[in-house]
Amino acid sequence: TVHERVDTFHDNDQKPVGYGRMLRKEDPRFLRGRGRYVDDVQLPGMLHLAILRAPVAHARIVSIDTSAAEASPGVRAVVTGAMLAQQGLAWMPTLSNDVQAVLATDKVRFQGQEVAFVVADDRYAARDALELIDVEYDVLDPVIDARRALEPDAPLIRDDLEGKANNHCFDWETGDEAATEAVFARADVVVSQDLVYPRVHPAPMETCGAVADFDAVDGKLRLWSTTQAPHAHRTLYAIVAGIPEHKIQVISPDIGGGFGNKVPIYPGYVCAIVASIVTGKPVKWMEDRSENLISTGFARDYIMRGEIAATRDGRILGIRTNVLADHGAFNGTAAPVKYPAGFFGVFTGSYDIEAAYCRMTAVYTNKAPGGVAYACSFRITEAVYLVERIVDCLADELGMDPAELRLKNFIQPEQFPYTTKTGWVYDSGNYEPTMRLAMDMAGYAELRREQEEKRARGELMGIGIAFFTEAVGAGPRKNMDILGLGMADGCELRVHPTGKAVVRLSVQSQGQGHETTFAQIVAEEIGIPPSDIEVLHGDTDNTPFGLGTYGSRSTPVSGAAAALVARKVRDKARIIASGMLEVSVADLEWEKGAFHVKGDPGTSVTIQDIAMRAHGAGDLPEGIEGGLEAQICYNPSNLTYPHGAYICVVDIDPGTAQVKVRRFIAVDDCGTRINPMIIEGQVHGGLTDGVGMALMEMIAFDEDGNCLGASLMDYLIPTSLEVPDWETGFTVTPSPHHPIGAKGVGESATVGSPPAIVNAVVDALKPFGVRHADMPLTPSRVWDAMRGQARPP
Ligand code: CDP
């Protein structure tokens, strides 16, 4: 169901734009199985690489014997950490200024860590030889629980770091502690709640992999890899490996889903590069599903305490939180250097409050590295979950309707741009209409009546609300960089003589439809049909530098770059048109696709005429060079702050504790909407992620550190059977600083839906006196919640 209602329009020269539901340009390729993914790359003489992984979570390596593996048929090379160490390549920097072992030399620090690799003629020979490598381990006590990590007698994980005496990773705080203390002291009501956001995995359909091809003659390395940030990866490879940057080409071809999983540089990529250099042949490495689930970028793993202070009549005064963050064995998070906890600073949500404070401690544990932002702007998912759960706890305490409590505390439209109590500047927002639309679509009052009747009959029905504000679109570059690389994006647009065009982006699509939407943006600005505009991305030799796609930053940053580069081309086209029509530029009017003389619409030239003239014979106006192209690097002045109102309705079977999501209403506001069909797809996918996290997904470990989520048999992800027919709607509050008013949307639904679902489940369990239950709300957890705090309905 789609409810279309536009509540806010552009009111300046960016009139409502004609973006629309264009079918995806990339779909003919994908639907016919003609996509070209990393594993489709076949090069002459290509060898295959397989990685030996640690069977235990924490152990000293006593010895490694590779002789039997080397003698195995088809094996070309066997490489250990000790061999890499001789070249200074055993360790690599992470995107968080930590270091991570490419292959373990001293100890293994998580189950699944890379210990050695084999290169062989085919994948089977490589895998068979792995079993012939004999590693002797001296097993050590592991640290699995983040709370255990800080105990004085906890085993030390990172003894590779000089002077490191404990498992502490970093501390971080934001907000005003004293001011928050003061509002809590004078509040009528204070509610606190412990919450766990469990470790989950982005689990893209395509696992990670690479094909490395080092040409010893011209010294050039070509690397096809599953990366969401090809340019940033190239620069880092150049710095680490010492290969000149212009001699490295990173190609990120079609990508089968990223969701943050493909942002970090994984040891496997580096192993493939080393293997190609050592063997002189192209080398392919492709993870299997288990390798992906146990060793690459996990997300979340936050233990939080949320506290909220309010007046008796429901005015929220302050929010305070304390977080223990589990970063695994190596801190592999990608987050702007100045924000080690990412954008957790927006934990104050959509509410106009007086004070806020957050303190966080991060630790190392014997688990896979990461803290990647899974469909999330660097920890925003955790922040939204925290605030939207504790607001519900407050509503429960006050005996107030959770919708009413939210409506009462929203930041008001005239308060934008709004500086939060932790210093972020929300660019624009108009929250009440979004909330009201969601309530209308849900039939909120009617649902509450239905719930009352059902409760009287002993049936368990819950209604959950979440209202989120997100921060997406990192930079600006002065505030945000990853390892010193500023978060800005380049864009180039070239119009060919016949009026067709090519736009080159620094961001990289992983299935979000960029080939369509970026063509639409350029088309809107320059009047060339989207079908005549080719979008190129994901190849560092053919696209301008920029920091890549994650945290829904493509539209806020590169989308702005695409609009601005098109306007730059249009400005040049205007001057050429003035020459063609023999009038001054001031006498020209732009109408999508053509300039005409003011007051004389019949006298005009199209953009196609101008393109031919720009490349053709004859003089151009003075000072104008031939060709019709431009290039820019866009540095956003702020993030964009999309918002949304989500309402979830669940039924719980009292006999089995099975939760069924019966309805889900999602109203998103991402400013100007470029392609509503693609946005809906993004929202549907994100909501499905939310059902997974709220009800099914968790990467758990046993006390020895064995990963219990190593296959999709154990790590459950939702299918169409577990999700309802999504009901989506939207409002439009443009971003004031984005050239077309667009905000990001890709991750919104993943961020906003888990608290709505958990709030609904807790609401259903109210008759049992339940105020909170941690995700994932599996039948056994719901059953425990029902029995643990049983109170007769
Ligand atoms: O960075 P990522 O592409 O993952 O996220 P995004 O910028 O939110 O964009 C996701 C997809 O939705 C892209 O194809 C966008 O062009 C499209 N989109 C849109 O049509 N209108 C918006 N206001 C935001 C995104």
Tens digits of residue pLDDT in 434-480: 999 999 999 999 999 999 999 999 999 999 999 999 999 998 999 99
- Residue 7, pLDDT > 70, answer no
Question: How far is ligand 1, taken at its centre, from the CA of residue 165, in Å?
Answer: 45
Tokens (6 digits) for 175: 């907000």
Q: Which positions ≥6 away from 690 have C-beta within 8 Å?
A: 749, 750, 752, 753, 754, 756, 757
From 552, 555, 728, give the residue whose CB has the most ligand 1 atoms within 8 Å, as the site to mutate: 555
User: Ligand 1 pocket, 742 CB below 6 A?
Assistant: yes
CA–CA distance, 570 with 592 (Å, rounded to integer): 11
Q: Is a pLDDT exceeding 90 seen at residue 219?
A: yes
What is the predicted pLDDT for the residue at 1? Answer: 40
C-beta 506 within 6 A of ligand 1: no
Mean pLDDT of 108-131: 98
Q: Kindly state the average pLDDT of the residues 121-147.
A: 98
Question: Please, which pLDDT band fits residue 789 given cuts at 50, 70 and 90?
Answer: low
The atom number, within ligand 1, closest to the CA of 742 reads: 23
- Please indicate whether residue 682, judged by its CB atom, sits closer than 6 Å to ligand 1: yes
The residue count of the chain comes to 793
* Tally of CB atoms within 10 A around 721: 5
Give the Å distance between the CA of 499 and the centre of ligand 1. 26
**Which atom of ligand 1 lies at the shortest distance from residue 507's CA?**
1
Tens of pLDDT along 36-87?
A: 999 999 999 999 999 999 999 999 999 999 999 999 999 999 999 999 999 9
Residue nearest to atom 10 of ligand 1 (CA): 746
**CA 554 to ligand 1 center in whole angstroms:** 7
Indicate if the pLDDT at residue 2 is higher than 70.
no
- Single-letter residue type at 191: V
Contact yes or no for 766/653 (Cβ under 8 A): no
pLDDT at 8: 31
Ligand 1 atom having least distance to the Cα of 517:
16
Cis peptide before 476 (omega within 30 of 0): yes
Q: Reduced to 3 DSSP states, what percent helix, strand and coil does the chain have, rounded to the nearest 5? A: 30, 25, 45
| Dihedral angle of Cα 765, 769, 775, 781, to the nearest 10 degrees | -80
Considering only CA atoms, which residue is closest to atom 3 of ligand 1?
554
- Best residue among 259, 554, 677 to mutate for probing ligand 1's pocket (most ligand atoms within 8 Å of CB) is 554
pLDDT of residue 603: 95
Q: For position 65, what pLDDT does the model report? A: 98
How many whole angstroms from 174 Cα to the centroid of ligand 1? 30
Cα-to-centroid distance, 470 and ligand 1 (Å) = 14
Share of the chain above pLDDT 90, in %: 92
Q: What is the DSSP letter of 546?
A: B
Does the beta carbon of 522 lie inside 6 Å of ligand 1? no
Distance CA 522, CA 55 (A): 51
Contact 191, 393 (CB under 8 A): yes
Question: Which single residue is written with the structure tokens 């999504």?
Answer: 726
In degrees to the nearest 10, what's the CA dihedral of 705, 166, 161, 113? 0
Per-residue DSSP letter, 656: T
Return the ligand 1 atom nearest residue 674 CA. Answer: 20
Residue nearest atom 19 of ligand 1, based on CA coordinates: 674
Residue 549, ligand 1, Cβ within 6 A? yes
Measured from the Cβ of residue 785, the count of other Cβ atoms closer than 10 Å reads 22
Pairing of strands 600-606, 489-495: unpaired
Instruction: Judge if the beta carbon of residue 512 lies within 6 A of ligand 1.
Output: yes
How many Å lie between the centroid of ligand 1 and the Cα of residue 753? 18
Residue whose Cα lies nearest atom 16 of ligand 1: it is 517
| Alpha carbon distance 224, 250 (integer Å) | 6
Q: Which residues are within 8 A (CB) of 616 and not within 5 positions of it... i.e. 6 or more apart?
A: 497
Kindly report, residue by residue over 296-342, the tens digit of the pLDDT: 989 999 999 999 999 999 999 999 999 999 999 999 888 898 999 99
Q: Which of 230, 226, 185 is nearest to 202 (CA)?
A: 226
Mean pLDDT to the nearest integer, 114-130: 98
For residues 694 and 709, what is the distance between their CA atoms, to the nearest angstrom? Answer: 16
Closest CA to 691 of 756, 644, 783: 756
Where are the strands (E) in 487-598, listed by range?
Answer: 489-495, 501-505, 533-536, 588-591, 594-597
Q: Is the CB of 678 under 6 A from ligand 1?
A: yes
Q: Quick one: average pLDDT of 115-134? A: 98
Which atom of ligand 1 lies at the shortest distance from residue 516's CA? Answer: 14
- The sign one gets for the Cα dihedral 131, 136, 139, 142 is negative
pLDDT value at 164 more than 60: yes
Q: Greater confidence, 482 or 136? A: 136
Reduced to 3 states (helix: H, G, I; strand: E, B; else coil), residue 194 is strand
Distance 775 CA to ligand 1 centre (A): 28
Average pLDDT across the chain, whole number:
94
The verdict on the CB of residue 748 being under 6 Å from ligand 1 is no
Give alpha helix (H) positions in 115-176. Answer: 123-130, 146-149
| pLDDT-derived band at 21, boundaries 50, 70, 90 | confident
- What's residue 10's pLDDT? 31
CA of 257 to the centre of ligand 1 (A): 14
428 Cα: distance to centroid of ligand 1 (angstroms): 18
Query: What pLDDT is recorded for position 240?
Result: 84
For residue 3, pLDDT over 70 is answered with no
Protein residue with least CA distance to atom 9, ligand 1: 746
Rounded Cα gap, residues 263 and 230, in angstroms: 9
Residue 600: partners with Cβ closer than 8 Å, 6 or more residues away? none
Mean pLDDT, residues 194-221 taken together = 97
Rounded Cα gap, residues 503 and 220, in angstroms:
26
Given ligand 1 and candidates 27, 515, 517, 547, which is best to mutate, with the most ligand atoms within 8 Å of its CB?
517
In 313-417, which ranges are continuous DSSP H helix? 380-398, 402-409
Ligand 1 near 672 CB (within 6 A): yes
Report whether 511 contacts 202 (CB < 8 A).
no
Q: Tokens in use for 368?
A: 């896979």
Quote the ligand 1 centre to 675 CA distance (angstroms): 8
| Residue 4 pLDDT > 70 | no
pLDDT at 329: 98
How far is the CA of 712 from the CAs of 23, 367, 368, in angstroms? 32, 19, 17
Burial degree of 309 (CB within 10 A; 0-12, 13-18, 19+): buried
Closest alpha carbon to 346 in 766, 752, 774: 752
Q: Which helix (H) or strand (E) holds 647?
A: strand 643-652
163 Rama sector, left if φ>0, alpha if ψ -120 to 50, beta otherwise: left
Rounded alpha-carbon distances, angstroms, from residue 336 to 93, 201, 362, 468, 487: 15, 21, 16, 22, 8
For residues 192 and 226, what is the distance between their CA atoms, to the nearest angstrom?
42
Q: Which of 26, 512, 728, 733 to mutate to test the pocket of ligand 1 (most atoms within 8 A of CB)?
A: 512
Cβ of residue 377 lying under 6 Å from some atom of ligand 1:
no
What atom of ligand 1 comes closest to residue 555's alpha carbon? 7
Q: Do 210 and 226 contact (CB within 8 A), yes or no?
A: yes
For atom 2 of ligand 1, the residue with the nearest CA is 552
- Indicate whether residue 510 lines ligand 1 (CB < 6 A): no
Ligand 1, atom nearest to 642 Cα: 23
Among 505, 672, 674, residue to substitute to test ligand 1 (most atoms within 8 Å of Cβ): 674
User: Which token pair is 297?
Assistant: 């970028």
Q: How far is CA 547 from CA 4, 205, 227, 234, in A?
A: 34, 23, 11, 11
Q: Across residues 723-744, what is the average pLDDT? A: 97
Q: What spacing in Å lies between the alpha carbon of 744 and ligand 1's midpoint?
A: 6
Q: Which helix (H) or strand (E) holds 60?
A: strand 59-65
Is the confidence metric ipTM above 0.90 for this complex? yes
* Assigned token pair, 705: 């550190």
pLDDT average, residue stretch 510-532? 94
Ranges of H-type helices in 642-708: 676-695
Instruction: Say if ligand 1 is within 6 A of residue 746 CB.
Output: yes
Q: How far is the CA of 215 from the centre of ligand 1 (A)?
A: 37
The pairing of strands 628-634 and 643-652 is unpaired
Mean pLDDT of the region 547-557? 94
Answer yes or no: is the C-beta of 638 below 6 A from any ligand 1 atom.
no
